[in-house]
């Protein structure tokens, strides 16, 4: 239960910090943080929680990461369902808190997207389903390579949270224009449920693509990182 509680809190922080920065601060008049600030916010949520709960649960915060670590031989299959449920519930709870905050402003409407992920007409840059699929698969695969490499027993100790946090920042810098960046099914679910409609209809891609990408990343690291 300590591990599941840590995953719940950690994923709550990721969604509140990352999606919260997108909803509340990205376009704030005069001092909006924009794409760069949102990218950094997502990276900082992982970096801070990795130091806070990494020693408790491993700080996955992401069903795709949990699946990738399992396939990479770093995580037991028996713990996978509990981790995924805790992550999704944490994301939904954060989405609820963010909704309560955001709806305190006159004129707020979830129809604006509420930091949801999307493709085609719901892609920030108008990118197609295929472009979104390729982006999410490839970036999640490389995210897993970084995670597995940075946490390898042969890697420099104590620096994994920095590498992983910066990797997630870079991923957002690349892919916010394409999909608004998922690489995390829990993060996508946590806000899509409050938007409903198109966000829920397109949610399948942001479960399938990250998990496929995580499997590919785990396979790649098994090859290049073999002892």
Each residue's pLDDT tens digit, 160-204: 999 999 999 999 999 999 999 999 999 999 999 999 999 999 999
> What is the model's pLDDT at position 135?
98
Q: What is the pTM of this model?
A: 0.94
Secondary structure (DSSP) of the chain = -HHHHHHHHHHHHHHHHHHHIIIIITT-TTT--HHHHHHHHHHHHHHHHHHHHHHHH----SHHHHHHHHHTTSS-GGGHHHHHHHHHHHHHHHHHHHHHHHTTSTT--GGG-TT----GGGSTT---HHHHHHHHHHHHHHHHHHHHHHTSTTSPTT-HHHHHHHHHHHHHHHHHHHHS--S-HHHHHHHHHHH-HHHHHTTTHHHHHHHHHHHHHHHHHHHHT--
Q: What is the CATH number of domain 1-105+114-225?
A: 1.20.1080.10
* pLDDT grade for 146, boundaries at 50, 70 and 90: very high
Each residue's pLDDT tens digit, 97-145: 999 999 999 889 898 889 999 999 999 999 999 999 999 999 999 999 9
More confident residue, 226 or 180: 180
């Amino acid at each position: 239960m300590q591990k599941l509680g840590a995953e719940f809190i950690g994923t709550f922080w990721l969604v509140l910090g990352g999606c919260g920065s997108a909803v509340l601060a990205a376009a704030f008049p005069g001092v909006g943080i924009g794409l760069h600030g949102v990218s950094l916010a997502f990276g900082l949520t992982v970096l801070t929680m990795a130091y806070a709960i990494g020693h408790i649960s491993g700080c996955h915060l992401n069903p795709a990461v949990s699946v990738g670590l399992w396939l990479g031989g770093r995580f037991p299959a028996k713990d996978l369902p509990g981790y995924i449920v805790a992550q999704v519930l944490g994301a939904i709870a954060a989405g609820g808190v963010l909704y309560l905050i955001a709806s305190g402003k006159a004129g707020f409407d979830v129809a604006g997207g509420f930091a949801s992920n999307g493709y085609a007409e719901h892609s920030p840059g108008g990118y197609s389903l295929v472009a979104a699929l390729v982006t999410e698969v490839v970036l999640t695969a490389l995210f897993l390579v970084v995670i597995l490499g940075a946490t390898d027993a042969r890697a420099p100790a104590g620096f994994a949270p920095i590498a992983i946090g910066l990797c997630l920042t870079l991923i957002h810098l690349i892919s916010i224009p394409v999909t608004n960046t998922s690489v995390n099914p829990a993060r996508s679910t946590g806000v899509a449920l409050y938007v409903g409609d198109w966000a829920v209809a397109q949610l399948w891609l942001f479960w399938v693509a990250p998990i496929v990408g995580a499997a590919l990343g785990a396979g790649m690291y098994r090859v290049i990182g073999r002892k």
